[in-house]
Structure 1
Amino acid sequence: KISAPDMYMPFFVMDIFRSHPGFPGLFIACAFSGTLSTVSTSINAMAAVTLEDVLRPHLLHMTQKKLILVSKGLSILYGVGCITVAVLSSFLSWGVLQGSFTVMGVVSGPLLGVFILGMFIPATNRLGAFSGILVGFCVSLWLAVGSTLHPPSEETMGVLPSFTGSCSLTNITMSHNSNQKQKSISTVLHPNDKRGIFNFYSTSYLYFGAMATSTVVLVGLVVSYATGPTKRSQIKEGLLWWDLNKKKEEIPSQHRDRMPEKPQVIPLMNMNKEEVL
């Protein structure tokens, strides 16, 4: 029996490779290896950033040995936080993957939109960037909270049933229950679900980041042109995307100009004994 979407993949592996000893264990080892390597890198990165950017200015009197102990303590703290979130997510209706993608979409989507405005659209001004990221974050957060409080039904999302209680065992019962099966299939294909704002809440969590990015770019453009776009002459060279490409093309030519000339080789056979000494 499958009670959560996170159990589909382990069940699939155990069902396919049940007659091949070692393959299920190899799959579990690969899954744990990929997960733990990513998590350990993220925990160490968060601990290092917290120590250098937040705590280091206030801990100038500490020695390097004590700072290493503080960094290890931060790693333990972040690790306990990750385990706590994983345990709490098991009590929720959605899986860990959906929760992580939802948080990443809400937070990273508006940031990507601001970078797009700054690097690709010279007319963006400060007010447009602030307005875009504020509206984009509010829209993505509203969508994430709404989809959590009012999740769409399984019929709307097209989720197939995970139980086999109504499945037929023989050809006789299959022909006997054909009308009932046809009725259930038509119900899944043509759901009678709520409309309006609930259709907006039924958006997949994989699109939260894309919607936030699009909102930031659209609002930033409108506000920037409405309040006065930034002139190209006011932008420092090297901040736009095409300026970076131009810099990249100029660097090899500058290196070629600075390269010393090839030294002239004088054969020793043509030199006198006094010149060699």
Structure 2
Amino acid sequence: MDEKSAPSIGGLDNSSSPSGAHFGIVDYVVFSGLLLVSALIGLYYGCSGGKQKTQGEWLAGNRDLAWLPTSLSLLASFISAITLLGTPSELYTAGVMYFYMSLTYFVVIPVSAWVFMPVFRRVNSLSAFVYIKRRYSNALSLVACALYLIQMILYMGIVLYSPALALNAVTGLSLEGSILAVSLVCIFYTVIGGMKAIIWTDALQTMVMILGMITIGIVGTIKLGGLSEVYQITKTGLHLEFDKLSLDPRTRHSGIDLMVGGIFTWMSIYSANQAQVQRYISVATKKDAQKAIFLNLPGLIFLMLISGYCGLLAYAKYSLCDPIKTGTIQKSDQILPYFVLDTFGGWPGFGGVFVSSIFSGSLSTISSGVNALAAVVLTNFIPDNLLSEEVRAKLGKVLAIVFGLLALGFAFLCKYLQSILQLALSLFGLLASPLLGLFTLGMTTRRSNNIGASVGYITSLLMQGVIYYGSQSIDYSAPKLILYDTNCGENIPLNETITQIKANQQIFGAYTEASDTSNLNILENSVFRLSYMWYGFIGFIWTIVVGYVTSIIVRLVSKNEKERIVDEELLWHFRDIFPSEDKSRYSYELPLGDVNS
């Protein structure tokens, strides 16, 4: 079909719409059902057991969480709606190179389970930042805490806003209404039910995400004529190319930068993020914590593959009629909602199932985030002996409400300040890798000290900020696959589709040309055009190298530093790989704050 007859989605002025491309009563019932069940889980745990009256129960489930739902919660915490919409978008527009990211999980998961988790359990605090306080200084710990609070509030706001915006444009689902409903329900069950409610709602939401994406994959494949047809169209359209292994760090996505950058991106999440560390501490034993982490390996890979495959399905359907070019949708992250409603429009309630699966990612991220931020404030800014367990639990709930409302406020702010989105997403990566480097420096070196670690961490943050700011000041467009709108008529046979794709490639080319109108010198050309995938690697390495070298220099000139002995509990040892725990030495009945303060 041509542009005039393209489907009308999200209020765009086209003359027709995909069958069922709106949110009906059944869809609202299904979506409301997910929110209701999540709220009821919170209500159940708020009225049962100890009724979340103590800090230990509310923040850590009395450190007796089952490993299987905890594993699903770990998986859900950072598989947000941004991931579920962004991965199909990436595969639709750029092909399967992004799948190289899944190889990084084979490094990230073992390192998290065998190196970082055992040390955090020995520290015996629900806050990861207490480690920095004990290893280095309270001042450095508070700086890292403050930056983490900012990072997570921005990220949670984006996690609320981005899927609501994409779904609003395609389904007509109210932008403000969906943001408000999801955030308020999430705050409710997090405050009422505590960590136990978060774990079980995350488990439910993970299953909804998985089942939703599986259904799209299976039924979408059948409706497009089978796996063979999808394969032939995507292969002809160069969407199955795995051979981009450029060593040029300015390449946006090559196999090399995806694997290297992916390791540090995901390690900053699984190894050094408060939300994940809090779960490692909350299960009963180190063995259970290791099982929970390792189960995430197949889970992460599967979600990456199935969500990416849905993007390939969308390309197979719109290979000759890209809805972005026709003006039917405005951005590539709307392609999956459009594909689902265009393909499943005659299925009552399936729009609700899809929206539920997307917003499940938001619910799990927000609930984990507000609980983690409350734990950080309680354990780092308020001394243990200042308030009772009961009062601390009440204060934690108030903090969770405040952080949830701040995230909600930023989500609404994003509506008016669009340019903040990319900045805030980048800040998440820019702030996380120096923090990962700081933890790694402390756990793997004996000679690092407070001055060296502080210099490494702070200069890394500054250097990352300069690179990011410089990257925004250039006008450069990397080559990407060309999408076509040369045949928007009726469905045509497979052979004719393939013939037309090849003809389009001959006429229009397969890739766009790189464009650059910036006046840069050689150094700026090299640094400011770095792929964003290298930011994590650079921040991590800079923190460790500068931190360690500075520490050595300080030790050479300071007598006190020469005599300082590092607590063995704060260092990683090879024996940490094994599941045994010396409970006679590391009591898990101690308070949840800084147990050595």
What TM-score results when the alignment is normalised by the length of structure 1? 0.64
Q: Which residue of 2 aligns with 1:113?
A: 437
Structure 1 residues 220 and 104, CA gap change in structure 2 (3 angstroms): same
Distance 2:565 2:517 in 1: 53
CA contact (8 A) 1:122 1:231 kept: no
1:108 and 1:240 map into 2 onto residues whose CA distance is 21
AA in 2 matched with 1:220: G
Cα distance change on mapping 1:178 and 1:19 into 2, 3 Å:
same
Deviations 1:176-221 (A, max 9, x none): 9887624xx56x2444454542553344444433321111112123
Aligned to 2:241: none
By relative contact order (CA 8 Å, sep 6+), the higher-ranking structure is 2
TM-score normalized by the length of structure 2: 0.34
2:470 maps to what in 1?
Answer: 146
Return the alpha-carbon distance in structure 1 between the equivalents of residues 389 and 578 of structure 2: 41
Report the CA distance between 1:59 and its aligned residue. Answer: 8.0
| Distance in 1 between residues matched to 2:379 and 2:553, nearest whole Å | 40
Q: Is 1:235 aligned to 2:566, yes or no?
A: yes
Report the Cα distance in structure 2 between the residues aligned to 1:72 and 1:250, rounded to whole angstroms: 32
Match of residue 75, structure 1, among 400, 406, 424: 400
Contact 2:479 2:513 in 1 (8 A): no
CA contact (8 A) 1:129 1:220 kept: yes
After the TM superposition, which residues 179-194 of structure 1 pair with which residues of structure 2 at under 5 Å, given as runs? 181-182=508-509, 185=510, 188-192=512-516, 194=518
**In 2: Cα distance, 1:90 partner to 1:56 partner:** 39
Q: 1:7-156 alignment to 2 at 5 Å?
A: 7-51=334-378, 53-54=380-381, 68=394, 71-91=396-416, 101-147=425-471, 149-150=472-473, 152-153=475-476, 155-156=477-478
Work out whether residues 51 and 71 of structure 1, in 8 Å CA contact, stay in contact via their aligned partners in 2.
yes
Query: How much has 1:82 moved relative to structure 2?
Result: 0.9
Higher alpha-carbon Rg: 1
SS at match of 1:167: coil
Aligned equivalent of 1:167, options 477, 486, 491: 486
SS of 1:118's equivalent in the other structure is: helix
Quickly say closer, same or farther: Cα 1:140–1:178, change in 2 above 3 A. Answer: closer
2:537 aligned partner: 210
Unaligned runs of 5+ in 1: 255-277
- Give the gaps of 5 or more residues in structure 2: 1-327, 490-495, 586-597
- TM-align CA RMSD: 4.5
* Structure 1 residues 210 and 57: alpha-carbon distance in aligned structure 2, compared to 1, 3 A threshold: same
Choose 192-201 or 75-84, whichever is displaced more: 192-201
Contact 1:105/1:212, CA 8 A, preserved across alignment? no
Q: Letter of the aligned partner of 1:150 in structure 2?
A: S
Change over 3 Å in CA distance of 1:144–1:157 after alignment to 2: farther
Distance 1:238 1:65 in 2: 30
Whole-angstrom distance in 2 between the partners of 1:91 and 1:199:
34
Tell me whether 70-79 or 207-216 shows the greater mean CA deviation.
70-79
Deviations 1:9-66 (A, max 9, x none): 3223334434544433212111212311320232233235435654678986x99579
Report the count of equivalent residues: 242
SS in structure 1 at match of 2:478: helix
**1:104-128 CA distance string (max 9 Å, x none):** 2222211111111121123323332
Distance 1:7 1:199, change over 3 A: farther
Alpha-carbon distance change, 114 to 50 in structure 1, aligned in 2, over 3 angstroms: closer
**Structure 1 residues 29 and 175 mapped into 2: Cα distance closer, same or farther (>3 Å)?**
closer
Q: Which stretch of the first structure deviates more once superposed, 74-83 or 85-94?
A: 85-94
Identity rate, percent: 27
